[in-house]
Chain A
Amino acid sequence: MTETQTQQKVLDEVMVELRDVNKWYGDFHVLKNINLKVYKGERIIICGPSGCGKSTLIRCMNRLEEHQKGEIIVSGITLDDDLKHIDRVRRDIGMVFQQFNLFPHLTVMENCCLAPIWVQKKSRKEAEATAIRYLERVQIADQAKKFPGQLSGGQQQRVAIARSLCMNPSIMLFDEPTSALDPEMIKEVLDVMVDLAHEGMTMLCVTHEMGFAKTVANRVLFMDAGEIIEENEPNEFFDNPQSDRTKLFLSQIL
C-alpha cells in the first residue's frame, strides 16, 4: 500500500546525476563507469559486499571524495574543483555517517544549531526553533542540553539525522547508519528514516537492512567491485535476482 503511495511521489525532476564516474585510490579502481539518475522523492538503497565502493559512491556526491573521471551533477550544479560549487552542493545534501560523527564538545542543541547559524546565517533564535522541531521529530528533544557522550548509540544517530535536517537539505545520504548500533537500537533509527521517506525526502542509503529496503525503497542498487551489477525495484530484486553475484550476496545476508 505504502509502495504505491510513495511511488506516486517520485517526480521527473533529476536531483543527482552521475555520468561515467570513475574513481581511483592510487592504482585501485574503486568506481568503474557509474551511471545513475536519482529523481526527486526517490529512495535508493545501495548494497553490496564490503569494499565494493558503495560508500565511496555516495561520498562522491557531496565531494567528501573526489572523482577523477566523469561528471556528477547535483541539483543542477556540476561538482568540480570550484569551491563555490562544492559549497552549494553541500548545503543541499545532508549526510548521516556510520559513526554518527557528532561534535563531542558541543551539546545536542549546539550540534544542531552550529551550521544553520554559521553557514546559513540564521539567527540563534531561529536556528534553535528549527532544531527543537527536528529534535522533536526524532523524539529526542528532551536530551537537547546533553552532550553526545551521554547518549546511547541510537540516540546519537537520531541526533545526527536531526542535525542534517536542520540545514533543510533536499537530498539525504545515509552511509550505513545502523551498522555501528546495538541490535535493540537499530529499530529506533530505522523508524525515523521510514518516517522521513514517507514525507517524500530524496534518500540514498547504503545499508544491509533488507527489511528497511523492502519497506521504503523504490530502487535497490547492487554493487560489486566498483560497478553497479544489478538495479531493480525491491520486490523483484529480492525475489528474483538476476546475476550470480547478487544471488550469492543475498544468500549470505538473508
Chain B
Amino acid sequence: MAVYITTPSPALPPPSTSVGVLGWMRKNLFSSFANSILTLIGVYLLFLIIPPTINWALFQADWVGTSREACSGEGACWVFVTVRFQQFMFGFYPPSEYWRVVVAFSLVGFLIAWLLIEETPKKGLVGIFTIFCYPVIAYLLFYGGALGLPVVETHKWGGLMLTLILATIGMFCALPIGIVLALGRRSTMPIAKSLSVVFIEFWRGVPLITVLFMSSVMLPIFMPEELQIDKLLRALIGIVFFQSAYMAEVVRGGLQAIPKGQYEAAEALGLSYWKCTFFIILPQALKLVIPGIVNTFIALFKDTTLVLIIGLFDLLAVVQSAFADAKWIGYSVEGYVFVAGIYWISCFSMSRYSQYLERKLHTGHAR
C-alpha cells in the first residue's frame, strides 16, 4: 500500500537524559560500571593532591618580609621570590635604568595587542612600525649609547627580560626564515633547493646545546680579535637558525597539504609564482600548520633556558644562582615553582591564542 505524509512532522526536543549537566555526566563520567569506578578513583586522587597543594602555595604561605626570618615554615615562603623579584626580572641590569626595559616591553606588548585584537584600525601601519621601527627603538632602550642613555652591556642583561628578548627575537626571525627555507626546499630551482636542504638538515641534525656551545666557545677561538661578535648575539643567531630549520619543516608540511588545484587555478588566472605563493598558498598553508608553528614557538621559548650553559643568565639561571645565596639555602622549591609558573602562563597563553586563531580563520561550513 502506498504511504505518504501530508504535513511535515514537528521537531521535538531531545530526551532530557541526553542534555544538560545530567546528560553530560552520564555520557562522560558514568557511561559504564568500569568508567564509574575510574571516575570515583580520579575524584579521590584529586582530593588527595589539590587541597594540600593549595594550602602550601596560598593559605599557609608567607608573603611579606625581607629575610628568611619571615618564613614560618608551614607553607611556601614566597618572601624568597619577592625579595629578589627585581633581580629575577632584570638580571644585573642597573636598577636606575629599569624604566628603559619596562618602556620597551610595554611598547611591544601594546603593539602586539594592537595587531592581535580584531577591532583595532590601521593594522598595516602598526605592523610596519612593529617590524621596522620597533627593533631600533628597542635596541636603543635596552643597549643605550645614544640620546643620552648610558650603555648597558649585554652581559648585564638577565632574568625574565633576557628570556623574553631571546624568545621574541627568536620567534620573529625564525618564522620568516623558516617560510623562505620551506619554499626553497619545494622549489624546482636546483641551487635554491639544495641550499635549503643542506641548511635545514645541518641545523636539525645538531643539538641546540652544541650550537650554543660552539657559538660561545669555539667561534671566538677561530675569529680574529677585532671581529668578536657579542656573546648574546651569537647565541641568538644560533637559536634563530636552529629553530628556523624546524619551522621550515612545519611550514613545508602545510605547503604539501595544499591541493594541486589551488596552484592551477592561480596559474590559470595569470598570477605569478610570488603572487600565487603570497596570496593563495601561504595563507592556507600557514593556517593549516598553526598548531605546529605554535608548538615550535613554545619549544623555542623553553629552549632559551639552555643559554645558561654558556653563562647567560636567563630567568632560570638567575633563580638558580639565587639558591647559592647562603641566606636563602633551602628555598629552591619556591624558586622552581615560580619559574615554572611564569613559563606555564606564557606557553599556555600562546596555546590559547593559537586555538582562538584557528577558530577565527576557519572558513568552512560555519554554522
Query: A residues within 8 Å of B by Cβ?
Result: 62, 64, 87, 90-91, 93-95, 97, 99, 101-105, 114-115, 118-119, 147-150, 160, 163-164, 167
A97/B265 contact (C-beta < 8 A), A87-B270, A90-B270, A118-B275 known:
yes
Are B270 and A101 in contact, with the CB atoms below 8 A?
no
Residue in B262, B271, B287, B365 whose CB lies within 8 Å of A149:
B365
Alpha-carbon gap, A149 to B265, bound state (A): 16
Q: Report which residue of A87, A103, A149, A160 has the largest number of chain B beta carbons within 10 angstroms of its beta carbon.
A: A103
The residues of B that contact A163 with a CB separation of less than 8 Å are 269
Would A64 and B279 count as touching, CB distance under 8 A? no
| In contact, A119 and B271 (Cβ under 8 angstroms) | yes
Query: Are B270 and A91 neighbours in the complex by a CB distance under 8 Å?
Result: yes
Determine the distance from Cα of A102 to Cα of B363 in the docked complex, in whole angstroms. Answer: 12
Q: Which residue of B259, B268, B275 contacts A64 across the interface (Cβ within 8 Å)?
A: B268
New A-B pairs, 7, CB < 8 Å, besides A90-B268, A95-B268, A99-B259: A64-B264, A87-B272, A97-B265, A99-B261, A101-B259, A150-B363, A150-B365
6 A–B contacts, CB within 8 A, in A order: A95-B264, A101-B261, A103-B266, A105-B287, A148-B363, A167-B269
CA distance A35 to B269 in the complex (A): 26
Asked whether A103 lies within 8 Å of B262 as measured between CB atoms, the reply is yes
Q: Which residues from A are CB-within-8-Å of B268?
A: 62, 64, 90, 93-95, 164
Say which residue of A94, A101, A114, A150 sits within 8 Å of B262 (CB atoms).
Answer: A101
Report the Cα distance A163→B261, complex, angstroms: 15
Interface size on B, residues (CB 8 A): 23
The yes or no answer to B366 lying at the interface (CB within 8 A) is yes
What is the bound-complex CA distance between A115 and B271, given in angstroms? 7
Bound-state CA distance A149–B284 (Å) is 14
Is A119 touching B269 in the complex (CB atoms < 8 A)? yes
A60 to chain B, nearest CB (A): 13
Bound-complex Cα distance A128 to B268 (A) = 20
Give the residue of A91, A103, A105, A118 whose beta carbon is less than 8 angstroms from that of B265.
A103
A-side interface mostly? mixed
Structural contact, B363 and A118, CB atoms closer than 8 A: no
Q: Contacts A99-B261, A101-B261; is A115 near B269 (CB within 8 Å)?
A: yes
**Contact residues in B for A97 (Cβ distance below 8 Å):** 261, 264-265
Give the shortest distance, in Å, between B154 (CB) and chain A (any CB): 41
Convert B276-292 into 0s and 1s, putting 1 for each residue whose CB lies closer than 8 angstroms to a CB of A: 00011001100100000
Task: Give the distance in Å from the alpha carbon of A103 to the alpha carbon of B285 in the complex.
Answer: 12
Which B residues lie within 8 Å of A148 (CB)?
A: 363
Residue among B259, B287, B363 facing the most chain A CB atoms (10 A cut-off): B363
A150 to B265, CA, bound (A): 19
Contacts of B259 in A (CB 8 A): 99, 101
With A118-B279, A149-B363, A149-B365 as contacts: A105 and B284 at CB distance below 8 Å? yes
Which residues of B328-367 have CB atoms within 8 Å of chain A's CB atoms?
361, 363-366
Could you say which residues of chain B place their CB within 8 Å of the CB of A103? 262, 265-266, 280, 284
Q: Is the CB of A90 within 8 A of B363?
A: no
A59→B265 CA distance, assembly (Å): 11
Question: Is B153 part of the binding interface, using a Cβ–Cβ cutoff of 8 Å?
Answer: no
Minimum C-beta distance from A43 to chain B (A): 19
Collect the chain B residues with CB atoms within 8 Å of residue A114's CB: 269, 271, 279
Q: How far is the CA of A169 from the CA of B280 in the complex (A)?
A: 21
Chain B residue nearest in CB terms to A93? B268
Of chain A, the residue at the smallest CB distance from B364 is A149
Check if A105 sits within 8 Å of B361, measured CB to CB: yes
Name the A residues within 8 Å of B270 (CB-CB).
87, 90-91, 115, 119, 167
Query: Does B267 touch A at the CB level, under 8 Å?
Result: yes
B266 contact set on A, CB distance < 8 A: 103
What residues of chain B lie closer than 8 Å to A64, measured between beta carbons? 264, 267-268
Cβ-defined partner of B366 (8 Å) among A90, A105, A115, A150: A150
Are B269 and A147 within 8 A (Cβ)?
Answer: no
Closest A residue to B283 by CB, please name it. A105
Compute how far the CA of A93 lies from the CA of B271 in the bound complex, rounded to whole angstroms. Answer: 13
Cβ contacts under 8 Å, A62 to chain B: 267-268
Which residues of the other chain, B, contact A160 by a CB distance below 8 angstroms?
265
How far apart are the CA atoms of A2 and B287 in the complex, in Å?
Answer: 49
Task: With both chains docked as a complex, state the minimum distance between the C-beta of B2 and any C-beta of chain A, in angstroms.
Answer: 24
Centre residue among B262, B269, B275 by max chain A CB count within 10 A: B269
Contact with A along B55-94 (1 / 0, CB 8 A): 0000000000000000000000000000000000000000
Complex CA–CA separation, A150 to B270 (angstroms) = 26
Contacts of A102 in B (CB 8 A): 265
Give the residues in chain A near B283, CB-CB below 8 Å. Answer: 105
Check B365 against A104 for contact (C-beta < 8 Å): no
CA distance A64 to B366 in the complex (A): 33
* B261 and A147 contact, CB distance less than 8 A: no
Residues of B within 8 A of A115 (CB): 269-271
Q: Are A104 and B363 in touch, CB under 8 angstroms? A: yes
CA distance A64 to B270 in the complex (A): 11
Whole-angstrom distance between the alpha carbons of A149 and B363 in the complex? 6
Residues 3-52 of B at the A interface (beta carbon under 8 Å) = none
| A250 and B343 alpha carbons, distance in the complex (Å) | 70
Contact in complex: B265, A101 (CB < 8 Å): yes
